[in-house]
Amino acid sequence: MKKQYLLTPGPAPVPEEIMKAMSEPIIHHRTSQYRDIVWKINQDIKKIFRTDANVLTFTSSGTGAMEASVTNTLSKGDTAIVVRGGKFGERFSEICRAFGVEVVPIDVEWGTRPHHAAIEKALKEHPEAKAVFIQLCETSTATLYDVKSIGSVVKNTRAILVVDAISGLGADEFFMDEWGVDIAIGGSQKGFMLPPGLAFLAVSGKAWKLAAASKLPKFYFDLKRYEKVVTEGDSPWTPAITLVLGLGKAVSMILDEGVDKFVARHAADAAFVRQSLSGMGLEVFSKYPSDALTAIKVPQGLDGKKIVDTMKTKSVIFAGGQGHLKGKIFRIAHMGAITREDLEHALEKLKETLAELGHKVK
C-alpha cells in the first residue's frame, strides 16, 4: 500500500507501536486490571502538562473539554475575557455565549498574538471578570501565544487562566503550574499521537474554588464526578478503553524520549521546515510561529486550495486555511510522530506542485 503522508494539525499520524497497543483484546473498565493501567497513566501524564494537578480524561474531542472549562467554572451572567485571534479563540467566545456568559473580546490580528498588557488592561476595566480564555497555539494561524507572560498578569487577580493547549501541548514549551495556568486543555489527536476521541483537562486549586460556585448546567462533563474517582484510576462513565490503552503507550513513549527532548525535536523540525520554505521563496504567515505546525502564505497568483488538492494526489495531506484565510494560506504540521523524513518528502512534493502550478521555485 502506498504511504500517505498525513501532515495536518489533527488528526496526526499514529505510530505502529500505539496501533499495536490499541489492537490488544478489549478489557472491562470496572476491573482492577484497567484501573491499574489508568492510575499509572494519570500519574505519568502530569509530567507532560508539567503540573501536580490531576489530569481528567474525557471521551470527546477537545471541544468537549473547552466546554467543560466554561460550564464548570462560570455561571450565567458572569464575565469572561476571551482572546480572539483565530477560529479557536472564536470557539471559546461561542461556547461562553451559548451558556449566557458575558464575553469581553480581545481581538488580535490573525497571525499575531495578544500582548500581556492588553490582558492586564481588560482585567482592570472589568474587575468582575472570572476567567481569561486563550490558546497556547492558535491552530488556525499556527501562532504561539505568550502564555507565561499572560499567566504572570492573571495570577494576581480573581480570574482564572484557561489555556487551550490542544495543538501545542508536547510541541511547544508549556509549564502549567510554573506559568500560573489554572485550566489546561489537551487533545489526543495531535502531539499525543493518537486517533481523535480523548480530551484532557487539568485543574488548579484556584479553579476548583471557582468551580464550587458554578451554576451552569453540566452532567457528562461535570468535573467533580471525574475528580472524585480519578485517583482510583476510574471514570464516572464508560471510557474509550481502546484509546486509553493507546494513551498509555503514547505517554510512555513521550516520557522515554524525555519531555524536554520531545519538545526540542519539535523545535528542530519546525526550524527545518521554515528554513526549507524560505529557500523556496515562500513566506511564513505567523509573526510568532508555533513549533506544532507552520502556516505558509500562498504565493501571489496561486490558489491555496489548488495547492492542497494537488498535494493530495501525491499522497501528501496538508491543511488549508480557515475562515477568511481560506485559499490564502496552507498549513504543514510537524507534531507528534511526524518524522524529519516525512517532512523532507513532503517539501520535495511541494516544490513539484508549485512548479506544476506555475510558481517559480528557488
Task: Report whether pLDDT(362) > 80.
Answer: no
Task: Report whether pLDDT(359) > 90.
Answer: no
User: pLDDT digits over 177-198, tens only?
Assistant: 999 999 999 999 999 999 999 9
Residue 230: the pLDDT is: 96
**Angstrom distance (rounded) from CA 246 to CA 239:** 13
CB 54 within 8 A of CB 231: yes
346 belongs to a structural domain:
yes
User: pLDDT digits over 146-166, tens only?
Assistant: 999 999 999 999 999 999 999
Rg (C-alpha) for the chain, rounded Å, is 20
**Angstrom distance (rounded) from CA 162 to CA 198:** 18
User: pLDDT digits over 16-40, tens only?
Assistant: 999 999 999 999 999 999 999 999 9
Co-location of 99 and 229 in the same domain: yes
Number of compact structural domains in the chain: 2
Considering 231, 256, 281, which residue would you say is the last residue of a domain? 256
User: pLDDT digits over 253-290, tens only?
Assistant: 999 999 999 999 999 999 999 999 999 999 999 999 99
CATH code: domain of residue 115:
3.40.640.10
Co-location of 41 and 124 in the same domain: yes
- Please identify which residue in the block is written with the cell numbers 495531506: 317
**Angstrom distance (rounded) from CA 131 to CA 267:** 30
pTM of the model: 0.97
Co-location of 250 and 264 in the same domain: no
361 belongs to a structural domain:
no
Q: Please, which pLDDT band fits residue 2 given cuts at 50, 70 and 90?
A: confident
Co-location of 188 and 289 in the same domain: no
User: pLDDT digits over 3-14, tens only?
Assistant: 999 999 999 999
Task: Report whether pLDDT(341) > 80.
Answer: yes
User: pLDDT digits over 194-205, tens only?
Assistant: 999 999 999 999
Task: Report whether pLDDT(1) > 80.
Answer: no
Average pLDDT (217-240) is 97
User: pLDDT digits over 40-77, tens only?
Assistant: 999 999 999 999 999 999 999 999 999 999 999 999 99
* Domain assignment of residue 262, given as a range: 5-11+258-356
For 143-160, letters b (16+ CB in 10 Å) and e give bbbbbebbbbbbbebebb
User: pLDDT digits over 87-140, tens only?
Assistant: 999 999 999 999 999 999 999 999 999 999 999 999 999 999 999 999 999 999
Q: What angle do CA 178, 84, 97 make, to 5 degrees?
A: 100
Instruction: Tell me the helices (H) and strands (E) count for the chain, helix number first.
Output: 12, 14
Q: What is the mean pLDDT of the chain?
A: 97
Co-location of 269 and 144 in the same domain: no
Average pLDDT (305-325) is 97
Residue 348: the pLDDT is: 97
Taking Cα atoms as reference points, which of 98, 115, 132 lies closest to residue 206? 132
Co-location of 30 and 167 in the same domain: yes
Residue 360: the pLDDT is: 83
Considering 206, 238, 256, which residue would you say is the last residue of a domain? 256
243 belongs to a structural domain:
yes
Residue 340: the pLDDT is: 98
142 belongs to a structural domain:
yes
Residues comprising the chain, all counted: 362
User: Can you say whether the dihedral through the CA atoms of 115, 118, 120, 123 is positive or negative?
Assistant: negative
Residue 33: the pLDDT is: 97
SS3 at position 248? helix
Co-location of 302 and 206 in the same domain: no
Considering 202, 225, 256, which residue would you say is the last residue of a domain? 256
